[in-house]
Chains A and B, each alone.
Chain A
Amino acid sequence: MVAPLFSVSPDVAELRRGLNVLRQAQRLTEGVRWAIRGAIAGLALTALLLALARVVTLSTSVALAVTPAAAAVAALAAAARRRSLTQVALLADRRLGLQERLTTAWELAGREDPVALAHVQLADALARLSRVRPFRAFPLRLSWRESAVMAGLAGLVIALLVLPNPHLRDAQQQHMQRQLLQQQAQAVGQLARQIQSAAGNTPTAEQKATLVALHDLEQSLKKGDVQQAEQALAAAEDQLRANSSSTAVSAAAALSRAAAALTGSQGNHSLTKSLAQAIGAGQYAQAAQQLQQLGNQALSLPQSERDALQSTLRNAGAAAAKSDPALGLALQQAAAGLGSASQPGDSATVRQVFQQASAALQQAGRSVQSESQLQQALSQVQASENALGAQSSPGATGQQSQNSSGGVAHQVVTLGQGAGSLQQPGQGGASQQGNGSSSSPSQQGAQSGGGQSNGQGQGNGQGSGSRSDQVYAPKPVAGHLEQLPNSAQGPGVQVAVNGVEQQPADNGAIVPYTQVIAQYQSQAVQAMDQSHVPLNKKDLVRNYFSALAAGQ
């Protein structure tokens, strides 16, 4: 009878089972212990990252994620480390004070030629092993030192999280500023495209200058540098102001007067009506064309209508001459030409004078349109300046929308041309969109209420700015208000005419500045005190009110 090999005896199998159980307990314990160590290392790294986040830009969430990640990696690494049963036996012997019984037994179990006392030793080891609880050999214990270190590091991390982080605040502000700059660049670009589209293939010199200024500004804003952007905005504003022409205001007034005269004429010729409507709607090219057609048809009109037309044109010329002598003269010459024409051969002369009037009308219209676009651009630049300044100021993060909306809504210089020619993209949703169809007086919301239009199709401003009491950028100081005669369609036009202030409207929408200047100045001072006004604009605001005070 052959004795079974020692290594395949039931005792050896039982020893292997027991050691495997111990190994599982050891792996679990090791995993937990290394997870704690990993967590400690992770907490230390997190604290370091949070401290670094006060100097350089680092994500807090990434720093916080380091701790569980380190703990998980350490636990997995520890669990993945599979110890041999010999090592487990050694560890268990040491932990339980078994005096190398398990180690010796496991080694003897692997031998094919056991020593004399092998069976006895194995039996002794098994007897001890049967009384061993795995987690007594490998207990899940946390040392006081590790606990203290972990608690200290956790406290440090919490402190770093709770204490204000100036760098993070600055970084957020810079991010928002960059975002704002991109938005402003987008708005400027959109406005430039609109102007380009409106100008068509033959833009005027003023339009070209405006487009160049806007394109340059857009490029500067896209770079995302706040300082550069401020400089570019200031430069663009200066350039646009330099390009601004006072003749456009005169031309607008002249056109408005002419349109009023044409509308209020005694004649009932459809062409004069549509001519007045086209001028009122800002469709100057169409108006010029209609005036030319009127010259072609004038001699074929009955004498009474010719007389009425002549009278209407004369009145319109007289009205327009108050603001734009060239246009007024052209219209009066057209009226004179019509009156002097009695022979069929005079038609060429009539056509010529009407053509000249048409050209003058078109020229005035283009001047008005260019100026209107320039004013839009200027408004956009100011809105961008205000938005940027509002965000740069301390505590402005939560007020961005309010300030920016307020900044845009203050647009004042509208030339009353309506017909959708005014659109002011801006922050905070403040925009003015003319629909061109309404004949009712326009009362723009918020602070855009200063912009009104008469005639047909005036701008229906829908500014949604909620902070109408804040003024950030001054209106043109040199300009004064001129109250135009009321027309049938509206309460009047608020225009700036150099040096002469006309009577204010009597509908309550416009009051002399002397009555409101004190309130506005108080609000401006308050706004400056609350740092709502950028530092570089404070002098501008002070100068503005100083200039107004000097005028008083």
Chain B
Amino acid sequence: MIRTGVEIQQFAETVHSIEGEVGCVIVGQRDIVRNVLIAIIAGRHVLLEGVPGLGKTMLVRTLSQVLDLQASRVQFTPDLMPADIIGTTVISENAEGRREFRFEPGPVFANLLLADEINRATPKTQSALLEAMQEKTVTVSRSTHSLPLPFFVMATQNPIEMEGTYPLPEAQLDRFFFKLDVGYPSTDELVEILSRTTASPILPGLDRVVDGNRLLAMGDLVRELPIATPVLEYAARLTMATHPDDPHATKEVQQYVQFGASARGAQALVLGAKIRAAIDGRFNAAFADVRETALPALRHRIILNYQAEADGVKADTVICGLLEKVPESR
């Protein structure tokens, strides 16, 4: 199928329109919005980490409106059970008066699931999301139920108040396409937030820019975006360099990293780079796209050791070191 340049232009315009609409509600956080959109277009999931009150939930709600998607929200708590998420089988009478088992879908059956404070649920409950996130199906009582497409999970977690929390296991973290650190707004942004939220309780009306099918088509389009082999090799070298035993590993990696990023990390790098290029209206991914994607795609895939924790070294520091040291071309 021959694609035209117009499709890429429309793609870029669509994304910019979404960002514009979201920007009507969410002040600042442009990178967060951009990266969330990239993950959504890629059909993957996002983990948002930030202190309470930074607009994470508001972002998800806004996106669900702009994207014309069915959204649901689950507040994760320690007593939350898997069935509370994926649904359960109940006995009910049918029209003929006979009793039968009927599957009652949980909140996971939505296009956009907001898993709020996901680290407060028990691992059992957290793992219930694994199948849904990876396979986009849920299995209850030996019956597999497909989730509606597109399906995105946007999980949030609080970096403070770690007592009584259950950090996500590495396998589940790897399911997230991006991990985004939601930071504090700037003073100007905060002023704007205050002016918007304290004047009128009515939120501005948002246009629905795209629906689910369009998002899926956009995801298909960006996958066909060409990427040169040197760029692919750079993404691969960058990923491999996160492993302490790799020859390109920096001293920081060797000192502080216990396990490097997986192949999913490299996939996230390349796919994210392609989507960035498309949003930029380009027809190919570049080294710069890979570099810009590196932090959200790799930071949750690098497992730091205790020494890093003791020295206060973050994954972002290690990745920034890699971006400086790993050459773009051999």
Query: Which A residues contact B (CB, under 8 angstroms)?
Result: 86, 90, 93-94, 99-101, 103-105, 107-108, 115-121, 123-124
Q: Which of B2, B5, B230, B231 contacts A124 (CB 8 A)?
A: B5
Interface size class of B (residues with CB under 8 A): 20 to 34
Q: Which residues of B contact A108 (CB under 8 A)?
A: 226
Tell which of B116-124, B129-137, B139-147, B285-293 binds the partner: B285-293
Residues 3-53 of B at the A interface (beta carbon under 8 Å): 3-5, 8
Query: Is B8 in contact with A104, judged by CB distance below 8 angstroms?
Result: no
B229 contacts A by Cβ under 8 Å: yes
- Chain B window 270-293, contacts with chain A (Cβ cutoff 8 Å), 1 for yes, 0 for no: 000000010000111111110000
Query: Is A90 in contact with B5, judged by CB distance below 8 angstroms?
Result: no
Q: Which residues of A contact B5 (CB under 8 A)?
A: 120, 123-124
Q: Which of B224, B285, B288 contacts A115 (CB 8 A)?
A: B224
- Chain B window 201-235, contacts with chain A (Cβ cutoff 8 Å), 1 for yes, 0 for no: 00000000000000000000000111111110000
Identity of the chain A residue whose Cβ is nearest the Cβ of B225 in the assembled complex = A117
Q: Which residues of B contact A116 (CB under 8 A)?
A: 1-3, 224
Q: A90-B329, A104-B228, A108-B226 are in contact. Are A117 and B286 (CB under 8 A)?
A: no
Identity of the chain A residue whose Cβ is nearest the Cβ of B6 in the assembled complex = A120
Q: A119-B2, A120-B4, A120-B5 are in contact. Are A99 and B225 (CB under 8 A)?
A: no
Identity of the chain B residue whose Cβ is nearest the Cβ of A118 in the assembled complex = B226
Q: Which of A90, A93, A124 contacts B283 (CB 8 A)?
A: A124
Given contact pairs A99-B286, A100-B287, enumerate 6 new A-B contacts (beta carbons under 8 Å).
A99-B284, A104-B283, A119-B2, A120-B3, A120-B8, A124-B282
Q: How far is the CA of A103 from the CA of B225 in the complex (A)?
A: 14
- Pair count A-B, CB < 8 A: 64
Residues 49-84 of B at the A interface (beta carbon under 8 Å): none
Query: Is B226 in contact with A104, judged by CB distance below 8 angstroms?
Result: yes
Q: Which residues of B contact A100 (CB under 8 A)?
A: 228, 230-231, 284-287
Q: Which residues of A contact B227 (CB under 8 A)?
A: 104
Q: Which of A99, A107, A123 contacts B282 (CB 8 A)?
A: A99
Q: How far is the CA of A118 from the CA of B284 in the complex (A)?
A: 9
Identity of the chain B residue whose Cβ is nearest the Cβ of A120 in the assembled complex = B5
Query: Is A107 in contact with B228, judged by CB distance below 8 angstroms?
Result: yes
Query: Is A90 in contact with B226, judged by CB distance below 8 angstroms?
Result: no
Identity of the chain A residue whose Cβ is nearest the Cβ of B277 in the assembled complex = A99
Nearest 7 CB-CB pairs, A to B?
Answer: A99-B286, A104-B284, A121-B283, A104-B228, A116-B3, A100-B286, A120-B5
Q: Which residues of A contact B277 (CB under 8 A)?
A: 99
Q: How far is the CA of A107 from the CA of B328 in the complex (A)?
A: 17
Query: Is A103 in contact with B8, judged by CB distance below 8 angstroms?
Result: no
Identity of the chain B residue whose Cβ is nearest the Cβ of A102 in the assembled complex = B228
| Whole-angstrom distance between the Cβ of A215 and the nearest chain B Cβ | 76
Q: How far is the CA of A299 from the CA of B248 in the complex (A)?
A: 126
Q: A99-B286, A101-B284, A124-B283 are in contact. Are A117 and B230 (CB under 8 A)?
A: no
Q: Which residues of A contact B4 (CB under 8 A)?
A: 120
Identity of the chain A residue whose Cβ is nearest the Cβ of B288 in the assembled complex = A99
Q: How far is the CA of A310 from the CA of B162 in the complex (A)?
A: 154
Interface of B is mostly: loop
| Whole-angstrom distance between the Cβ of B230 and the nearest chain A Cβ | 6
| Whole-angstrom distance between the Cβ of B3 and the nearest chain A Cβ | 4
Q: A99-B288, A100-B284 are in contact. Are A117 and B226 (CB under 8 A)?
A: yes
Q: How far is the CA of A267 from the CA of B11 in the complex (A)?
A: 145
Query: Is B230 in contact with A90, judged by CB distance below 8 angstroms?
Result: yes
Q: Which of A103, A119, A120, A121 contacts B230 (CB 8 A)?
A: A103
Q: Which residues of A contact B288 (CB under 8 A)?
A: 99
Query: Is B8 in contact with A117, judged by CB distance below 8 angstroms?
Result: yes
Q: Which of B1, B284, B287, B289 contacts A121 (CB 8 A)?
A: B284
By CB atoms of chain A within 10 A, which of B1, B8, B224, B230 has the most? B230
Identity of the chain B residue whose Cβ is nearest the Cβ of A90 in the assembled complex = B329
Q: How far is the CA of A116 from the CA of B283 in the complex (A)?
A: 11
By CB atoms of chain A within 10 A, which of B8, B277, B329 has the most? B329
| Whole-angstrom distance between the Cβ of A110 and the nearest chain B Cβ | 10
By CB atoms of chain B within 10 A, which of A100, A107, A119, A123 has the most? A100
By CB atoms of chain A within 10 A, which of B226, B230, B277, B287 has the most? B226
Q: Which residues of A contact B224 (CB under 8 A)?
A: 115-117
Q: How far is the CA of A103 from the CA of B227 in the complex (A)?
A: 9
| Whole-angstrom distance between the Cβ of A113 and the nearest chain B Cβ | 12
Q: Which residues of A contact B2 (CB under 8 A)?
A: 116, 119
Q: Which residues of B contact A124 (CB under 8 A)?
A: 5, 282-283
| Whole-angstrom distance between the Cβ of A157 and the nearest chain B Cβ | 36
| Whole-angstrom distance between the Cβ of B319 and the nearest chain A Cβ | 21
| Whole-angstrom distance between the Cβ of B72 and the nearest chain A Cβ | 35
Show 10 residue pairs from A and B whose CB-CB distance is below 8 angstroms, ordered by the A residue: A93-B286, A99-B284, A100-B286, A101-B282, A103-B230, A104-B283, A104-B285, A116-B2, A120-B8, A120-B283
Q: Which residues of B contact A120 (CB under 8 A)?
A: 3-5, 8, 283
Q: How far is the CA of A507 from the CA of B289 in the complex (A)?
A: 113
Q: Which residues of B contact A101 (CB under 8 A)?
A: 282-284, 286
Query: Is B229 in contact with A107, judged by CB distance below 8 angstroms?
Result: yes
Identity of the chain B residue whose Cβ is nearest the Cβ of A107 in the assembled complex = B228
Q: Which residues of B contact A105 (CB under 8 A)?
A: 284
Q: How far is the CA of A34 from the CA of B40 in the complex (A)?
A: 50
Q: How far is the CA of A388 from the CA of B277 in the complex (A)?
A: 87
Identity of the chain B residue whose Cβ is nearest the Cβ of A119 in the assembled complex = B2
Query: Is B228 in contact with A117, judged by CB distance below 8 angstroms?
Result: no
Query: Is B283 in contact with A103, judged by CB distance below 8 angstroms?
Result: no
Q: How far is the CA of A94 from the CA of B234 in the complex (A)?
A: 14
Q: Which residues of A contact B286 (CB under 8 A)?
A: 93, 99-101
Q: Which residues of A contact B328 (CB under 8 A)?
A: 94
Q: Which residues of A contact B289 (CB under 8 A)?
A: 99
Query: Is A115 in contact with B329, judged by CB distance below 8 angstroms?
Result: no
Identity of the chain B residue whose Cβ is nearest the Cβ of A114 in the assembled complex = B226
- Chain B window 288-330, contacts with chain A (Cβ cutoff 8 Å), 1 for yes, 0 for no: 1100000000000000000000000000000000000000110
| Whole-angstrom distance between the Cβ of B202 and the nearest chain A Cβ | 43
Q: How far is the CA of A86 from the CA of B28 in the complex (A)?
A: 40
Q: How far is the CA of A116 from the CA of B221 in the complex (A)?
A: 9
Q: How far is the CA of A16 from the CA of B289 in the complex (A)?
A: 26
Q: Which residues of B contact A90 (CB under 8 A)?
A: 230, 329
Q: Which residues of B contact A115 (CB under 8 A)?
A: 224, 226
Q: How far is the CA of A94 from the CA of B229 in the complex (A)?
A: 15
| Whole-angstrom distance between the Cβ of B289 and the nearest chain A Cβ | 8
Q: Which residues of A contact B3 (CB under 8 A)?
A: 116-117, 120
Query: Is A103 in contact with B226, judged by CB distance below 8 angstroms?
Result: no
Q: How far is the CA of A90 from the CA of B231 in the complex (A)?
A: 10
Q: Which residues of B contact A107 (CB under 8 A)?
A: 226, 228-229
Q: How far is the CA of A101 from the CA of B284 in the complex (A)?
A: 7
By CB atoms of chain B within 10 A, which of A94, A107, A108 has the most? A107
Q: How far is the CA of A100 from the CA of B8 in the complex (A)?
A: 17
Q: How far is the CA of A174 from the CA of B230 in the complex (A)?
A: 65
Identity of the chain B residue whose Cβ is nearest the Cβ of A121 in the assembled complex = B283
Q: Which residues of B contact A104 (CB under 8 A)?
A: 226-228, 231, 283-285
Q: How far is the CA of A119 from the CA of B5 in the complex (A)?
A: 9
Q: Which residues of A contact B226 (CB under 8 A)?
A: 104, 107-108, 115, 117-118, 121
| Whole-angstrom distance between the Cβ of A105 and the nearest chain B Cβ | 8
